[in-house]
Structure 1
Amino acid sequence: MDVDQENVSATLTVAAPAAKVFAVLADPTTHCAIDGTGWVQRAVDRAPLTEAGQVFRMGMYHPGHPNGNYQVANQVQVIDPPRAISWLTGEEKDDGHLEFGGWFWRYDLAPLGPSETEVTLTYDWSAVPQSIREYLQFPPFGPEHLSHSLHHLAELVSGT
């Protein structure tokens, strides 16, 4: 686990080819099973992630959220199969306008051979404005979250 002032990352070697790992990450319906916090509840948009700018929404739950249940809108920033995928997380306003808080998730995949992939998961909040930092703590989860997520991903791609 590597923690910087503005981001946190974790790396794990996964017993699966990079293309298989990438396919799981590009499928929003798997994100609930991958999530290490238990906050991700379901994929609202179920289409595979295929291009930068694509938006996918997730149903969430957090006991500290004013509504408990809420929805996030994610916008794909990087999609480079089978090497990298990332998205900004934000919300959709009542008028349909998307608003992002300045944090993003990124997975970098490095093939280690035909059946192993080194996966690095990074959560970066370097672009979060001070106005948001006044009421949200970053990162909003413990450091074990990224490791748990990578282990969940490893279990999912290996079928165990």
Structure 2
Amino acid sequence: MDQERVSATLTVAVPAARVFAVLADPTAHAAIDGTGWVQEAADRAPLTEAGQIFRMDMYHPGHPDGDYRVVNKVHMFDPPRTIGWLTGTEKGDGRLEFGGWIWRYDLEPLGPSETEVTLTYDWSAVPQFIRDRGIQFPPFGPDHLINSLRHLAELVSGR
């Protein structure tokens, strides 16, 4: 872990294209999530390009509303190597506001049926006014990333 980024890596016995396809399916994200906060995809269409918006229904006991929705904007889309998104909120007037943190998956094929997957959470672009609210970064425990990768491995291998 560096100052404003944390990563975890896991090798899965599945081709990179299969891993990428699961990551590009918002309906799979609740099963992948290592915190249990992601509940379900509000937008169910597969992710197909940078700039695409998708929403997720969430729950966190420490959130003022408990149940809430995040909006994500695909930031990186390079099949089958990289996929990532910015997370934020949708304002009452329809404006989207992103907090400056990015979820990114990098896939490195190690052969025809094995892939090294690195999950990175990067909060280096979080503006000072958000940091001044007292939000802790990262907002999850140290096991979250590896738990997410283990869930992804189970999902892509059909276990």
TM range (shorter): over 0.9
Q: How far does the alpha carbon of each residue in 1:127-148 deviate from its partner, in whole angstroms, 9 at most, with x for none? A: 1112111221000001110000
Q: TM-score, normalised by structure 2?
A: 0.98
SS class of match (2:74)? strand
Q: What residue ranges of structure 2 are gaps of 5+ in the alignment?
A: none
1:24-64: per-residue Cα shift (whole Å, max 9, x none)? Answer: 00000000000000000000000000011000000000001
* Aligned twin of 1:91: 89
Measured against aligned partners, the alpha-carbon deviations of 1:76-131 in whole angstroms (never above 9, x if no partner) come to 01100000000000000011100000000000000001110000000000011121
Q: Write the letter of the residue equivalent to 1:20.
A: R
CA distance in 1 between counterparts of 2:88 and 2:8 reads 23
- The Cα shift of 1:6 comes to 0.4
State the partner residue of 2:99: 101
Moved over 4 A (4+): none
Q: CA RMSD in A?
A: 0.5
Matched-pair identity in %: 78
The aligned residue for residue 46 of structure 1 is 44
1:61 equivalent to 2:59? Answer yes
Q: In structure 1, list runs of 5 or more residues that go unmatched.
A: none
Candidates 69, 72, 96, aligned match of 2:70: 72
AA of the residue aligned to 1:137: Q
Task: Tell me the TM-score normalised to structure 1 length.
Answer: 0.98
What SS class does the counterpart of residue 118 from structure 1 fall into? strand
Measured in 1, the distance between the counterparts of 2:12 and 2:93 equals 42
Pick aligned residue for 2:11 from 13, 21, 29: 13
> How many Å separate the matches in 2 of 1:127 and 1:19?
29
Match of 1:82 among 80, 85, 96: 80
Count of aligned pairs: 158
Aligned to 1:144: 143
Question: What secondary structure is seen at the aligned counterpart in 2 of 1:132?
Answer: helix
State how far apart, in whole Å, the 2-side matches of 1:151 and 1:133 are.
30
